[in-house]
Structure 1
């Protein structure tokens, strides 16, 4: 992804709390705590710390996330990524060195939702 495609940039050394809704692509290099909802792309920079629930079209992670991640199309974990929490996505790309502590549920989100509700009702 080219830098000029990013619609918003939450810079290093800054702290944000709350809900983030956006279209297109957003890059976080600071600290964010709360909920992120979008059909677009969330890029989490190497120095970033994100805590909370993330529901996006695509996640590109180089920094730290603590929480639940749901991506409609893809999650990319670069070598500096550290994710503590569960991931639901149809496609996962992991570079050597990335850390994932949690559960991974792959397949389309619709299929995953049906499977989890089937398991819950058994």
Structure 2
């Protein structure tokens, strides 16, 4: 038995010197050139996995859109050089700073968001929110409580276990109500009240759909999503005055039924 690190030794039978690390006669070493090549399919999937994914973001100032990497935490607008925050925020405690990001915001059930203004890509609201909240994409609300600030989103979802009361006007494109909601809604698209949903308040939208079991209580204006009920009342009064002015003097006017 020889030392492991020995580079040479002498045979005890014939006295010849040899190297213990030398390959034995008749032993064929593996040729690296004969290794099987990777299949084209494997190379294709490897390229997809290693490919960097991008997303489209818009500038807060000039509204110009450009592509950025998903791994980026911030960028500058190529048009006006304004700084754009791309970070995601997860709020688990009290938070009062203003948020303006193209990332997502997750307000957990233990979080308390008292910021005056929050602008983000999408949001999940499970805790207390006191300020204004605006989402470029979707917003999911899953809480029981009051929302004193303004809410705006492309798509608003009120979850089944939610029971919210909105004091300010809610402006959305589309809204799905699966829980209880109270407040005024102005939607440029559709309002959908699911079978477990309840809505109390005025609605102005292009269309509304109420599933069997869903409940709605309030005033409804369909077809003119850009107008609210308060804006329609002056026009109605003006039309009544115009109709009265067209009646000739001395003509008898019908009396209202009592």
Relative to the length of structure 1, the TM-score reads 0.81
Alignment counterpart, residue 235 of structure 2, candidates 102, 107, 118: 118
Task: Spell out structure 1 runs of 4+ moving beyond 4 A.
Answer: 111-115
Q: CA RMSD in A?
A: 2.1
Rate the CA distance shift 1:79–1:23 in 2: closer, same or farther, 3 A. same
Q: 1:21-68 CA distances to partner (integer Å, 9 max, x unpaired)?
A: 111001000134122123x00100011122222111111100111111
- How many residues were matched structurally? 114
Q: Is the 8 A contact 2:142 2:162 kept in 1?
A: yes
* Aligned mates of 1:116, 1:90 — CA distance in 2: 18
Structure 1 segments unaligned to the other structure (5+ residues): 1-5
Deviation, 1:98, is 0.7
Q: Secondary structure at the match of 1:80?
A: coil
5+ residue gaps, structure 2: 1-120, 241-258
The 2-side partners of 1:67 and 1:43 are apart by 14
Aligned in 2, Cα 1:99/1:27: closer, same or farther, shift over 3 Å? Answer: same
1:24 & 1:93 partners in 2: Cα distance? Answer: 22
Match of 1:56 in 2: 172
Aligned to 1:103: 219
* Equivalent-residue separation in structure 2 for 1:73 and 1:63 (angstroms): 20
CA deviation vs aligned residue, 1:70-119 (integer Å, no higher than 9, x gap): 11111010011111111110110110111111111101224667744411
**Max Rg structure:** 2
Instruction: Name the residue aligned to 1:15.
Output: 128
Partner of 2:137: 24
